[in-house]
A = this chain, B = another copy of it.
C-alpha cells in the first residue's frame, strides 16, 4: 500500500511565519505616498491597517511568531495534507513524481484563510470593529467573512460586479458567515459613484473595488481595510503552506526539483514557494515557476514600475510588475488571477531571477483541470487549474526527456463554487485571449509618468 496523503499532526504546525525580506539578495523598494511621492511611514498606513500588520509589512526579521489564537484557528483545517498524484502520473505516463499541497480543505475552500485569520486576529486585538475589503472571483471575500465570523468582527465586501452576478454562491457564503457583500462599483462610495457616472454599465474590476473598500475604511476610525494578496504581510502569512510542505516532503523522503504555483496578486504562489526560494538562495537547484493567464500577463508582459494598487489612485505606490492601474481584464476569462499588479516581493524575486514566470491560455488550463478531476478526483478552482496545467507541461517534458523529476505544486483551492466556469468550458463557450502588443502599450501608458524604482530594468 503506497502512501498517498502525508498528514502532519497539529503539533507540527509551524509556530513561526517565514519573512523572506531577511534573505532577499536585493532589498525591496519602499512604497511611496500617493500624494507626496515620498516613502510611506507607518503613520501613512495607520488609517488603513492596524499597527501589528504595518509592523509586519516592513519587518526585516526572518521569523515571526504565529500567535496562539491564530494557531488555534489554523487547527480548523491545518496542517493541510500533501498528496502524491499517482493517478495523474499514471495517466500522463510520466517518470515525474507529482506532489500537491491541498489547500482546498479550509472551510472557504482555498488558501485565502491563511492570511484572513491572521488579519482578523490582529484587527481584533487592535480594537477594529469592522473590516472592509474587495473580492474578484469571491475566494477572498468569503475567506475574510469566515475569519471575521470567528473573531466577531463585521465584514463588508465590495465584489467585482460581473462576478457578483455570475457567482451568487460566493455571496451567500459570505452572508452565511455574517459578511455583507455589495456589487462594485457601488453607489456607497465616491469612487464607485465616479466610475458609475462615467460608465453606468461598468463590469467593475479589482482596482475599482479596492478603491471603494479603502475609501470606506479611511472614513471611519472603527473600520480598517484588508487586502487578500500583494502586500508583504499577506505573503508572510501564506508561508505556512511552504513550511508545512517542507516537513511533508521530508517525511516522503523527497525534495522538489520543480515548484509550481498560480499567481494573480502572488499570495498562493509565494506561500508555497518562499521557503523553497530560501533554499535556492542558499544553493539548492530548484526550478520555481509562477503561472499567470495569457489574458492578464502581469509578470511576462507587464512593466516593473511604481504603480497604484487601485484604479482611482488612493493606495500607496508599490514597486511591482504591473499592466497599469487602469487595466480592465477581458470578461472572457472565467477564473480569477486578473489583478493588474504583482506582489512587490514576487516582483523583486522575478527581477533577481529566483523564479520564472509562465503564461498559459485559459482553454489549456480548463483542459488540465478536467484531466485532474478525472484522474485524481478533485475539481480545482479555475485559478488552480493554471498550476495544474503548468504541472502537466513539466511532467510531459520529463517524459520527453526521459528524466525522473519531482514536481510539487500548490493546489490552492477547489472549484465547487465555480462550476459555471466549467460549464462554459465544457459547452465550448470559452475562448483564449492574448493581449496584443498595442493593448499592452496602451495599458502601460498610464503608469509612465510615475516614478521608476531604482532597480527598474524595463
Residues on A close to B: CB < 8 A?
Answer: 1, 3-5, 7, 9-11, 68, 71-72, 75-77, 87, 105-107, 109, 146, 149-150, 168-169, 172-173, 175-178, 370, 373-379, 416-417, 419-420, 422-423, 426
Contact = CB atoms under 8 A, between A and B. Distances in A.
24 contacts: A1-B11, A1-B72, A3-B10, A3-B11, A4-B75, A76-B377, A107-B373, A107-B379, A109-B416, A150-B375, A169-B416, A169-B417, A169-B419, A172-B419, A172-B420, A172-B426, A173-B379, A175-B423, A176-B370, A176-B373, A176-B379, A177-B373, A416-B416, A416-B417
A25 to B, nearest CB: 36
A71 B1 contact: yes
Contact of A5 (B75, B168, B175, B374): B75
Nearest to A87: B150
B378 A107 contact: yes
Contacts of A72: 1
A369 to B, nearest CB: 8
Interface of A is mostly: helix
Given A173-B416, A175-B423, A176-B370, A7 B4 contact: no
Closest 4 pairs (CB-CB, A-B): A107-B377, A172-B419, A169-B419, A4-B75
Looking at A3, A75, A176, A378, the one whose CB has the most chain B CB atoms below 10 A away is: A176
B373 A172 contact: no
Contacts of A375: 150
A214 to B, nearest CB: 27
A71 B374 CA distance: 18
Nearest to A3: B10
Contacts of A75: 1, 3-5
A169 B370 CA distance: 15
A169 to B, nearest CB: 4
Contacts of A178: 374
A105 B378 CA distance: 10
Nearest to A425: B176
A105 B105 contact: yes
A177 B420 CA distance: 15
A4 B105 contact: no
**Interface core residue of A10, A417, A426 (most chain B CB under 10 Å):** A10
A341 to B, nearest CB: 30
Given A76-B378, A176-B373, A178-B374, 16 more contacts: A1-B10, A4-B10, A106-B377, A107-B373, A107-B379, A109-B416, A149-B373, A169-B169, A169-B420, A172-B419, A172-B423, A173-B419, A176-B379, A176-B422, A177-B379, A417-B417
B5 A377 contact: no
A283 to B, nearest CB: 34
A168 B377 contact: no
Contacts of A376: 76
Nearest to A105: B105
Among A72, A169, A375, A422, residue most surrounded by chain B Cβ atoms (within 10 Å): A169
B149 A374 contact: yes
Contacts of A9: 3, 7
Contacts of A420: 168-169, 172
